Amino acid sequence: MDERKKRCTYKANLLKKYGEEQQTLQAEVDLHQRLKTIKKEHTRRKNDQTERSSKMSRENAVKLMQKYEREAKQAKEKLRKLEEKNKCSGSGKNENEEVKTEKNETKTKGVSEEELKEHIYRIVKEKSVKSLNAPFSMTDIIRQNHNLQKDNAEMKKELENLKRENSKLISDAVKYRKQSDAAMTQVGASEDQRKKLMDRLRKEKELNKQLYSAFTKKSADWIEHNKQMKRVYDELKLASVRKDN
């Protein structure tokens, strides 16, 4: 009787221990599954945030390039108008009519041919000087130069903002990579998943590098354009000084 009781007790203890081990194993499986789910959700959120940051950076780049193109067209239009001012449009016809009038009036006054030529030359010279005064207004030139400097400052500010955004995006990508690596280590993520994430980060870096190169080229083109505008300004200023002398 005692032997049978011992066997029953031993069997009960064995079943109890087996049940506890089963519960522990199930808890470990549940914990592993939960960690895996948390890791997936964490990776998904970080990837979504990276995609949003990349999309925002690309949209800002497009907006900046569009703004640069608009301002370049405006600067080109300013240059065209400035060049048109150098042309005495409409003045040639009036000068010819005035010269003809002066010539007809002097026919009946006994003026010599040399005196008539000198008089005509003086009229043409005075008209040319008057026509030069309008397009070479120093006030207009200073105002146009001020506008160009203002545009240049705004473009530099936009470029600096974009550089800061790109730097932040790269920093966030590095941070996300570290966090993702830590999560993968905790749950024993496969090497294939890690390679995919690294490849994604590499592509993001390449895209940022391409955007930065494009902005650098646009900036160089704009600086060259600004130099051309400055040369035009210097030529106009020199022409104005010569006219005054």
Buried b (16+ CB within 10 A) or exposed e, 144-157: bbeebeebbeebee
CB atoms within 10 A of CB 125: 10
Cα–Cα distance for residue pair 62/211, rounded to 1 Å? 10
Residue written as token pair 């079943």: 15
Helix axes 113-133, 191-244, angle to 10 degrees: 140
By CB atoms closer than 10 A (0-12, 13-18, 19+), residue 233 is middle
Cα–Cα distance for residue pair 85/23, rounded to 1 Å? 92
Tell me the per-residue pLDDT of 197-239, one tens digit each, with 9 for 90 and over. Answer: 677 777 777 876 777 777 677 777 777 877 888 888 787 777 7
CB atoms within 10 A of CB 61: 21
Buried b (16+ CB within 10 A) or exposed e, 102-122: eeeeeeeeeeeeeeeeeebee
Query: What pLDDT is attached to residue 92?
Result: 44
By CB atoms closer than 10 A (0-12, 13-18, 19+), residue 204 is buried
Query: What pLDDT is attached to residue 128?
Result: 46
Q: Which of 242, 39, 235, 17 is nearest to 145 (CA)?
A: 235
Q: What predicted TM-score, i.e. pTM, was given to this entire model?
A: 0.26
Tell me the per-residue pLDDT of 5-15, one tens digit each, with 9 for 90 and over. Answer: 666 676 677 66
Rg, Å, the chain Cα set = 41
Query: What pLDDT is attached to residue 6?
Result: 67
Cα–Cα distance for residue pair 131/85, rounded to 1 Å? 9
pLDDT tens for the chain, 245 residues long, are: 566 666 667 667 766 776 677 677 777 777 777 877 777 787 777 777 767 766 666 676 667 667 766 776 776 777 677 667 655 544 444 444 544 554 454 444 444 556 555 555 555 455 444 444 444 455 665 666 677 777 767 777 777 777 777 677 777 767 767 776 666 666 665 666 667 767 777 777 787 677 777 767 777 777 787 788 888 878 777 777 776 66
